[in-house]
A = this chain, B = another copy of it.
Amino acid sequence: MSGMRFTITKRMALPCIGRTGVIQTPHGDIRTPAFIAVGTKATVKALTPEQIGATGVQAILSNTYHLYLEPGERIVAAAGGLSKFSGWGGPTMTDSGGFQVFSLGSAYKRGVTKVARDPLPELVEESGNSNRLARVDEDGVEFISSKDGSIHRFTPERSMEIQHVIGADILVAFDECTSPQDPRAYQEKALERTHRWALRSLQKHQELGGEQALYGVVQGGKYQDLREYSARTLAGYEFDGFAIGGSFTKEDIGTAVRWVNNILPEDRPRHLLGIGEPVDLFLGIENGVDTFDCVAPTRQGRTGALYTRSGRINIRNARFVSEFVPIDAECDCYTCRRFTRAYLAHLFRSEEMLAATLASIHNLRFVVRLVDTIRERIETGGYEEFRDAFLARYYSYSSA
């Protein structure tokens, strides 16, 4: 019996199937919909826990694969678990490690790579990708450490053991995240295996006990029948919630999410993995997503791409060097209250570390506040007006 509880507060009117609610965890509540910040290696890059909290972020998602390699799950456990180790203190989530492991595998060098190394020559071909650093079999996946080249094996059972020890509030079943370029035949085969791994993850999770919650992962690529089949299959298992994985094209997101959420049981939370562009947040929420995580706000911020109500700007652009106004005059973040575009431009041009900190604070606050406003508008009215005005302003400028 997990220590997580999900309560729905308000439902949107059809045709939307979105809702607001609260996910209660042993480390605190998450009001949904919510944007969850990514803290890959038990740190949201360049930010202290207080700086993260000040953006309104309610929970952090860390990566099992990275924490397993460094510092190792035993160190995190000995520190009292992820939330304590990182100093965050609030709700946390870990992914299964599947995305990172498979970005070395069938998806390696095909556009979803996160970690690069030379491939092991002896790795057997299965998906037709000769560059991969990981090999999938029925039992699990063998991969080469991006840290030191050593060989490791993840199975559903091992992923659950590691995640239990890391100690996040919400865990994710071990799955295979396929590449959009994989042929349909491979997608079908991988999906069946992901379903078997889901069951094995669940069984191991129940065996390990404790109050952590486990989410099953819906896959199925761009195929409606596979997505619906995946949702039906996982809906029959005793997961505490569901994550929606895989790559989407921009136009697909709302549609694919809806296929799935029309089937998933309404009383359990749904997390959309790795998605966080403003338009995607609206589409996801309208189609029943409760939580999101995405590296985009912080990663883009570190390159100088900053969000404003009127679209994204590149602060390295020459015109910002002498603009003595905040990044976004309507923003209430620390960066906008205290610093000018000119100072940010200077920090980026000087390659100062504070640039990454201030930009991450701003972009995180922007996205968190957007989702918070959506939640408020769903609860108190005026959602459509807010959405239409926001998107018209944000994207008209961006595409100009």
In the complex, what residues of B have CB within 8 A of residue A149's CB?
Answer: none
Q: A324-B79, A338-B49 are in contact. Are A71 and B354 (CB under 8 A)?
A: no
A36 contacts partner chain B, Cβ-Cβ < 8 Å:
no
Contact assessment for A48 and B354 in the assembled complex, using a CB-CB cutoff below 8 Å: yes
- Tell me the A21-50 residues at the B interface (CB within 8 Å): 41-43, 45-49
Contact assessment for A75 and B346 in the assembled complex, using a CB-CB cutoff below 8 Å: yes
In the complex, what residues of B have CB within 8 A of residue A78's CB?
Answer: 322, 324, 342
Contact assessment for A353 and B71 in the assembled complex, using a CB-CB cutoff below 8 Å: no
Q: A46-B357, A338-B49, A338-B87 are in contact. Are A350 and B79 (CB under 8 A)?
A: no
Task: Please pick, from B41, B49, B343, the residue contacting A87 in the complex, using a CB distance under 8 A.
Answer: B343
A86 contacts partner chain B, Cβ-Cβ < 8 Å:
yes
Tell me the complex Cα distance, A87–B357, Å. Answer: 14
Task: Please pick, from B41, B321, B353, the residue contacting A46 in the complex, using a CB distance under 8 A.
Answer: B353
Contact assessment for B45 and A75 in the assembled complex, using a CB-CB cutoff below 8 Å: no
Tell me the complex Cα distance, A353–B44, Å. Answer: 9
Contact assessment for B350 and A353 in the assembled complex, using a CB-CB cutoff below 8 Å: no
In the complex, what residues of B have CB within 8 A of residue A350's CB?
Answer: 41, 43, 66, 70
Tell me the complex Cα distance, A347–B86, Å. Answer: 10
List 16 additional A-B contacts (Cβ < 8 Å) besides A78-B342, A353-B356. A41-B346, A41-B352, A42-B346, A46-B353, A48-B358, A66-B350, A70-B346, A70-B350, A71-B342, A71-B349, A79-B324, A85-B342, A85-B343, A85-B346, A353-B353, A357-B357
Contact assessment for B48 and A345 in the assembled complex, using a CB-CB cutoff below 8 Å: no
**A-B CB contact pairs (8 Å), 5 listed:** A45-B352, A66-B350, A70-B346, A75-B342, A86-B343
* A71 nearest in chain B by CB position: B346
Contact assessment for A46 and B354 in the assembled complex, using a CB-CB cutoff below 8 Å: yes
A190 to chain B, nearest CB (A): 30
A92 contacts partner chain B, Cβ-Cβ < 8 Å:
no
